[in-house]
Amino acid sequence: MCKEYPEAKKTGKPILPVELISTDREELEDSFPDLPSCACASDERAFTDALLEAVQKLALRENHSDPEHSFFMGLAYLNGIDVEVDRKRALDLITGAAKDEVPEAMQKLVDMLRSGDGTARDYSAAVQWQKHLVDHWRARYEKTGTEEDGERLVMALYDLGNYQCALASLADGKQAYEQMMTLSRQLLQVYGEEGMQYYLADSYEGLGDVSKAQGNLAEAKDYYLQILELYGKLWQETKTVGPHRGSPSAIVNGVKSVRLKEILLRPRTIIRKAWSCADRCGKRRKPQRQHGM
């Protein structure tokens, strides 16, 4: 005790004193005045409570050598999980973890900056951190080449394009959507994953919306038509499968698949966008009014 306790204090190790044999508590306190309260090993409930409290304190200690632990600590302070809410400390911990390349911390920091959760809203800073997240997943995908990391990069590019367009940085948004489109095509070709077709459609719509905002209506219409072509293929692949067989209206009423609903309902929005572009280009004939009507 005379050796172990001072050494533990010196190295900063957590200390849980346990009384295994009968001890003179007064003498113990005189010898070690800063010793935490002893738990009695014979009192199972008291010992369990003391052990749980010690483990909880250990979990909540900040560990600057472990960025993921710092990130979880930041979440704890942000939401008041077993600690008092401390938004500044939460922001510092999450930002530190993001700087140490923890992707979940980067994503959380983007969400906080966009929503104003725990910090002031700063859309420009959110875009910068989203760029860092894109760079992180690009480096990870170039290293691993896995479908999972490729999909994460696709999603990060999609969010980046959306955030840049929201700030009216249309050229930057277009670049993000173009990279997303190229990668989605590559992943679709290599893995043949159906989900990649939905990402590809998202990239087409983003590019169409940017082109429309830039006044390039013909190009916008072409992107929208590519979505309709893609969804037409998805519909042909899906409509005869199992319980979904039937007319479109019947399927919409009874289907449980979110994706199948999207196949059926999303084209309506895209058609309206394409027609709007065609109207403004003067390339969709309007019905002629007959005499006498």
Determine the 3-state secondary structure of 40 from DSSP: strand
The neighbour count for residue 221, using CB atoms within 10 Å, is 24
Which residues are within 8 A (CB) of 292 and not within 5 positions of it... i.e. 6 or more apart?
none
83 DSSP 8-state letter: S
Residue count (the chain): 293
What's the token pair of residue 270? 């895209």
Q: What is the pTM of this model?
A: 0.69
Q: Kindly report the backbone phi and psi dihedral angles of residue 260, in degrees, each rounded to the nearest multiple of 5, phi listed first.
A: -65, -40
- Cα Dmax for the chain: 113
What's the token pair of residue 161? 């394009």
DSSP collapsed to 3 states, 267-284 = HHHHHHHHHHHHHHHCCC
Sign for the CA dihedral angle at 225, 229, 230, 236 comes to: positive
CB 171 within 8 A of CB 207: no
36 DSSP 8-state letter: P
Per-residue pLDDT 10s for the chain (293 aa) are: 556 656 655 555 555 565 556 666 666 566 666 656 666 656 666 656 655 555 455 555 555 568 898 898 899 889 887 788 999 999 999 999 999 999 999 999 999 999 999 999 999 999 999 999 999 999 999 999 999 999 999 999 999 999 999 999 999 999 999 999 999 999 999 988 777 888 999 999 999 999 999 999 989 989 988 998 888 887 777 654 333 333 444 333 433 344 555 555 666 777 777 767 766 665 544 434 333 33
Helix axis angle for 195-213 and 147-166, nearest 10°, is 20
CB-count burial class (<10 Å; 0-12, 13-18, 19+) for 262: middle
Sign for the CA dihedral angle at 81, 86, 91, 97 comes to: negative
Q: Measured between alpha carbons, how far is 140 from 270 in angstroms, rounded to an integer?
A: 34
Kind and range of the H or E run holding 39: strand 39-40
| Closest to 182 measured CA to CA, from 138, 237, 220 | 138
Task: Kindly write down the DSSP assignment for every residue of 57-93, as one continuous string.
Answer: HHHTS--TT-HHHHHHHHHHHHHTSSS---HHHHHHH
What's the token pair of residue 133? 């997240």
CB 204 within 8 A of CB 226: yes
CB 215 within 8 A of CB 203: no
The neighbour count for residue 59, using CB atoms within 10 Å, is 13
Beta bridge partners of 40: 19
Kind of pairing between the strands at 39-40 and 18-19:
parallel
CB-count burial class (<10 Å; 0-12, 13-18, 19+) for 64: exposed
First to last CA, the chain: 105
Q: What is the pLDDT of residue 289?
A: 37
